[in-house]
Amino acid sequence: MPTSKDIFVMAEIDSQGKPKRLSLELAGKAAELAAQTGGRAVGVVCGPATAAQTLGEYGLSHVFYCPDPRCAEELIGPPAAVLASLIAAHNPWLVLLPGSPLGKDWAGRIVGKLGLGVEAGVTDLTVVDGKAQVTIPAFSGALRVSSTFTTDGAAPGLVIVLPGSFDLKRSGGTATVEEVALPAGTPTQVRVVERKAQEGGVPNLAEAQVIVAGGRGLANTDNFALIRQTADLLGGAVGATRAAVDSGWIPYAYQIGQTGKAVKPKLYLAVGISGEIQHKVGMQTSGTIIAINNNKEAPIMQFADLAVVGDLFKIMPALNAELARRKQV
């Protein structure tokens, strides 16, 4: 049976029950595509009705929400079951999912359950001759691949999108919201038995618009205060290299790179970071990259927009003072 023209968005919420930024980016994109193809932009969220309403403000015309607490307690199974049953009932053309750990978890279960096609790590989505075409950076960013669904229009296609791929567009609309129940018989397989807070919090690197990252050049834990201050002044988050994490200066949750997080802020300020390939692959698509390094031969000095050659211990305090001064005027 051919699919409808609808574009579904599976949204993820934060601990306050609000849709995350990436989910809102997806809502805007779905609305734009729906306007082009004449389908509907439909949301699915496992959370409160208010989350569904927010999604409407970002362009979705219809939002299904499932407030069942099992969705949060069991993380993966129940939300995947909710989405799978809605996909089966509505047969959408595309389903956009956030390229976050949870988004990938849900997508894996859906692909296994329904045997659908999936495009992962997508940074762009357009319609070419009525078919969905995606762009995917591949092989650590060495290549950019364009790909389509061989099943386009015949079966729903899942598209997993990286943060920062689409602009945030608040259209101020209102969605028709509809409560749905967790499908009967959804088994309990996994339970969250404890939630632990990381001392000092966890940075939301995936969605940060400004990141100030530090590496081995910072020399110890205490010196991270220097870049924490810069991040605060710029309204951004702190990140780190694996060398800093391995040295025990900062938790793994801050690590950017191949075995850490991939980020795409508008500004990436790299302080005392060499820019080895395993770090580069996690941040190379950032908007503006500024590097501060006392070695002008460091790899990062080859792919930054601004390469400042100098001692970070002299520059950072002065930069913090200058940023603070400009904030006041």
Partner 1 sequence: MNIVVCMKQVPDTTAEKRLLGDGTLDRASVPAVVNPWDEYAIETALRIREAQGGELTLLCMGPENAPETIRRGLAMGADKGVLVTDPALHGSDMWATGYVLAQALKKLPFDLVLFGSQSTDAGGGLVYGIVAELLDLPQISWVNQIEVGGGKVRGQRLSDAGFDVVEAALPAVVSITQTPYEPRYPTLPNIMKAKKKELLTWSLADVGADAGKVGLAAAHTAVGGTEKPSSERTVAVYVAEDPETTAKYIADFLAARKLI
Ligand X SMILES: Cc1cc2nc3c(=O)[nH]c(=O)nc-3n(C[C@H](O)[C@H](O)[C@H](O)COP(=O)(O)OP(=O)(O)OC[C@H]3O[C@@H](n4cnc5c(N)ncnc54)[C@H](O)[C@@H]3O)c2cc1C
Is 296 a residue that touches partner 1 (CB under 8 A)? yes
CB 24 within 8 A of CB 58: yes
Is 220 a residue that touches ligand X (CB under 6 A)? no
**Residue 167 contact among ligand X, partner 1, none, beta carbon within 5 to 8 Å by kind:** none
x/- map, 224-253, partner 1, by CB under 8 A: ----------x-------x---------xx
Segment contacting ligand X by CB under 6 A, of 66-74, 139-147, 193-201, 305-313: 305-313
Segment contacting partner 1 by CB under 8 A, of 35-43, 87-95, 165-173, 276-284: 276-284
Of 251 and 313, which CB lies nearer to ligand X in the complex structure? Answer: 313
CB 270 within 8 A of CB 315: no
Residue type, 273: I
Work out how close the CB of 35 gets to partner 1 at its nearest, in angstroms, rounded to a whole number. 24
Q: What does the block give as tokens for 103?
A: 């988004």
Parallel/antiparallel/unpaired status of strands 124-128 and 131-138? antiparallel
Q: How many CA within 13 A on the CB side of residue 293? A: 25
Is 259 a residue that touches ligand X (CB under 6 A)? yes
Segment contacting partner 1 by CB under 8 A, of 55-63, 170-178, 212-220, 314-322: 314-322
Which string of DSSP letters, residue by residue, matches 69-119? THHHHHTTHHHHHHHHHHHHHH--SEEEEESSHHHHHHHHHHHHHH--EEE
Is 217 a residue that touches ligand X (CB under 6 A)? yes
Q: How far is CA 312 from CA 218, 289, 316, 317, in A?
A: 8, 16, 6, 8
Among 82, 298, 304, 307, binds ligand X (CB under 6 A): 298
Is 278 a residue that touches partner 1 (CB under 8 A)? yes
Q: What does the block give as tokens for 234?
A: 């710029």
Is 223 a residue that touches ligand X (CB under 6 A)? no
Q: Considering just the CA atoms, what is the radius of gyration of the chain in Å? A: 21
Work out how close the CB of 204 gets to partner 1 at its nearest, in angstroms, rounded to a whole number. 7
Of 170 and 296, which CB lies nearer to ligand X in the complex structure? Answer: 296
Please, what is the Cα angle at 118 between 57 and 42, to 5 degrees?
20
Among 22, 79, 279, 319, binds ligand X (CB under 6 A): 279
Of 31 and 86, which CB lies nearer to partner 1 in the complex structure? Answer: 86
Of 54 and 255, which CB lies nearer to partner 1 in the complex structure? Answer: 255
Work out how close the CB of 95 gets to ligand X at its nearest, in angstroms, rounded to a whole number. 29
Work out how close the CB of 73 gets to partner 1 at its nearest, in angstroms, rounded to a whole number. 10
Report 49-68 residues binding partner 1 (CB under 8 A): none
Q: CA-CA distance, 92 to 30, in Å (whole number)?
A: 12
Other CB atoms within a 10 A radius of the CB of residue 201 amount to 10
CB 7 within 8 A of CB 33: yes
Segment contacting partner 1 by CB under 8 A, of 2-10, 165-173, 200-208, 216-224: 200-208
Q: Which of 120, 128, 127 is nearest to 101 (CA)?
A: 120
Q: CA-CA distance, 228 to 211, in Å (whole number)?
A: 10
Among 241, 284, 285, 286, binds ligand X (CB under 6 A): 241
Is 272 a residue that touches partner 1 (CB under 8 A)? no
| Chain center to CA of 180 | 26
Is 274 a residue that touches ligand X (CB under 6 A)? yes
Work out how close the CB of 173 gets to partner 1 at its nearest, in angstroms, rounded to a whole number. 27
Of 168 and 306, which CB lies nearer to partner 1 in the complex structure? Answer: 306
